[in-house]
């Protein structure tokens, strides 16, 4: 029997896409038995590579923010015309890709497709550039969502956001999955090394206004001034637009606290940053299910997050601390980490790893994707 072909459409299949790109890479690695094709647009970052997918990169037609490509659209339609077993999987919203999918829906009405919003229907996400999104919604995105065979949500919280935006959609929840390379014994051994070093708090993600970095640094600086001491340093790693990087570096220079920016971090360097850290912080204004938090948990780190990160189990499992998105709560996160002993951080980190393994194991998530793709 011929394997089904999954055509993934995504604006950016590189580090620029942040967790969305890494999530697709993970999905391809774990949803075996299908022919994966990735149709994506060129940007200023290196496109991810995998021998498990046919990756095709296209130039944009029109403004960068629109993320539309006539050539990508033609390639999508050609693939559908030549292959009756195609399933189209759209990653993300609010771009010209949605326009292409809406045209596909009219031209090839029997083609099944799945939409993964990746947190882009949260209340805070919709309010950014809301007039442009309102127009895109009216022109194509609402029709795309309404006619999708599945709207893929990462968490219960995202399903609520999706249903709030538009009721009656055929939602399904499937979390991300990652590899868990360490046993509990390995994690204990890494913590034995951590406790010999000064305390480090790690932020790893995109440098973007929605990630809360500006407010986090302000809270750390305020804490340092008011207490004349802070027990840790903040390490920041990630990519962003040049103007965002420049603003971050300026704020760090003016800060009273010990903060260092490492730029883009991948592979072994990222792995070592996880092993050296004593906790990971993600003070985001909006998220789907952040890959960086799952990776941090896999390395045995406690998680310090906002409610918008959609990880309710952090509080339930005592795997870190979760607060609402506001400046006062960022201050409380800083205070909590400052006062936590190494033993307390280790206990939370081990609970974080075990909780993540229970929820995001490869075996469970891969089986769900097999079921979703096959019956369509």
Task: Indicate if the pLDDT at residue 198 is higher than 70.
Answer: yes
- 3-state SS, residue 44: coil
Per the model's pLDDT, the better-predicted residue between 193 and 370 turns out to be 193
* Residue closest to 286 by CA, chosen among 115, 120, 93: 120
**Mean pLDDT of all residues in 92-107:** 95
**Mean pLDDT of all residues in 262-286:** 93
pTM over 0.85: no
Q: Other C-beta atoms within 10 Å of 74: how many? A: 12
276 pLDDT tier (thresholds 50, 70, 90):
very high
pLDDT of residue 44: 73
Query: What is the residue whose two structure tokens read 């390995």?
Result: 186
Looking at the chain, the whole-number percentage of residues with pLDDT higher than 90 is 72
Helix (H), strand (E) at residue 190: helix 184-194
pLDDT of residue 2: 60
pLDDT of residue 327: 81
pLDDT of residue 178: 83
| Extended beta strands in 205-284, E state | 232-237, 259-261, 279-282
C-alpha to C-alpha distance for 281 and 273, rounded to whole angstroms: 13
Per the model's pLDDT, the better-predicted residue between 165 and 20 turns out to be 165
C-alpha to C-alpha distance for 290 and 118, rounded to whole angstroms: 9
**Mean pLDDT of all residues in 342-370:** 90
pLDDT of residue 16: 66
Looking at the chain, the whole-number percentage of residues with pLDDT higher than 70 is 98
**Mean pLDDT of all residues in 16-23:** 77
pLDDT of residue 371: 85
Task: Indicate if the pLDDT at residue 88 is higher than 90.
Answer: yes
pLDDT of residue 288: 84
Angle between helices 242-254 and 213-227 (to 10 degrees): 0
Rounded to whole angstroms, the maximal C-alpha distance in the chain is 69
Q: Where are the alpha helices (DSSP H) in 44-183?
A: 70-82, 96-107, 123-127, 130-136, 142-147, 156-165
Contact 195, 275 (CB under 8 A): no
Tokens of 122: 């949260």
343 pLDDT tier (thresholds 50, 70, 90):
very high
In order of their start, the domains of the chain are 5-177+361-373 (3.40.50.2000), 184-360 (3.40.50.2000)
pLDDT of residue 364: 76
Tokens of 99: 């326009």
């Amino acid at each position: 029997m011929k394997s089904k072909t999954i055509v993934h459409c995504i604006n950016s299949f590189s580090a620029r896409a942040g967790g969305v790109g890494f999530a697709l890479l993970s999905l391809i690695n774990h949803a075996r038995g299908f022919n994966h094709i990735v149709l994506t647009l060129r940007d200023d970052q290196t496109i991810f590579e995998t021998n498990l997918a046919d990756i095709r990169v296209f130039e944009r037609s029109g403004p960068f923010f629109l993320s539309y490509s006539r050539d990508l659209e033609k390639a999508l339609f050609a693939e559908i015309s030549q292959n009756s077993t195609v399933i189209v999987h759209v990653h993300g919203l609010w771009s010209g890709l949605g326009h292409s999918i809406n045209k596909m829906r009219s031209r090839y009405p029997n083609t099944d497709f799945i939409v993964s919003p990746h947190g882009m229907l949260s209340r805070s996400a919709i309010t950014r550039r809301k007039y442009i999104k309102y127009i895109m919604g009216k022109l194509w995105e609402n029709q795309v969502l309404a006619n999708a065979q599945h709207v893929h949500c990462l968490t219960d919280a995202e399903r609520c956001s999706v249903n709030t935006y538009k009721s009656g959609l055929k939602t399904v929840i499937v979390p991300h999955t990652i590899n868990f390379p360490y046993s509990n014994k390995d994690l204990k051994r890494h913590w034995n090394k951590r406790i010999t070093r000064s305390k480090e708090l790690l932020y790893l993600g995109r440098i973007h206004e929605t990630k809360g970095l500006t407010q986090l640094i302000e809270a750390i600086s305020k804490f340092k001034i008011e207490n004349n001491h802070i027990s840790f340093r903040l390490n920041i790693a990630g990519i962003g637009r040049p103007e965002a990087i420049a603003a971050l570096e300026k704020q760090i220079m003016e800060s009273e606290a010990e903060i260092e920016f490492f730029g883009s971090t991948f592979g072994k360097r990222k792995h070592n940053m996880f092993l050296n850290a004593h906790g990971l912080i993600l003070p985001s204004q909006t998220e789907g299910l952040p890959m960086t938090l799952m990776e941090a948990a896999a390395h045995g780190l406690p998680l310090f997050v906002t409610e918008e990160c959609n990880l309710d189990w952090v509080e339930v499992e005592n795997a870190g601390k979760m607060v609402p998105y506001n400046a006062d709560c960022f201050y409380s996160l800083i205070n909590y980490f400052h006062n936590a002993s190494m033993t307390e951080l280790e206990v939370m980190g081990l609970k974080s790893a075990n909780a993540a393994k229970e929820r995001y194991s490869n075996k469970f998530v891969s089986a769900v994707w097999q079921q979703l793709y096959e019956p369509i």
